[in-house]
Structure formats: C-alpha cells, structure tokens
C-alpha cells in the first residue's frame, strides 16, 4: 500500500501542470488520473473538471 500512497502523492503534484494550458471562454476540460496496483486494478481515481465562463463584459482588474 506504500506504493499506492506514493502514486497518490505524485498525482497531486502533477495536477497544477494541467492548468498551464490556456482555456477559452466557454471551454470545459475534464482530467482523470487513475492509480493502479501491481496487477492493474484501479485503486484510486481523481478527476479534475475545469470550465471557463465570462460573467461580465466590463473591464477586469487582477490584483
């Protein structure tokens, strides 16, 4: 089970890399990562869903 915990930690570290690509207004992306044991069974799954939507047409200030 120690290897599964190590795999989970690697997945959590990799998640921010999924956010590096720019997304357009109205776009949605779903990312799923499976962690499998030595015999190929999925023992842990994480899904990250991202969506971009413009809520106003006014100017935007990022601080």
Taking 70 as the threshold, does the pLDDT of residue 63 lie above it? no
pLDDT, position 42: 93
* 5-61 pLDDT tens trace: 888 788 778 877 777 777 777 888 888 889 888 899 998 898 888 888 877 766 555
What CA–CA distance (Å, rounded) separates 14 from 12? 5
pTM metric for this prediction: 0.56
Nearest CA among 23, 60, 38, 36 for reference residue 48: 23
């Amino acid at each position: 089970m120690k290897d599964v915990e190590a795999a989970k930690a690697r997945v959590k570290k990799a998640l921010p890399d999924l956010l590096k690509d720019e997304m357009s207004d109205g776009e949605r992306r779903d990312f799923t990562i499976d962690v499998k044991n030595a015999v190929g069974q999925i023992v842990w799954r994480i899904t990250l869903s991202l969506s971009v939507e413009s809520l106003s047409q006014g100017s935007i200030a990022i601080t």
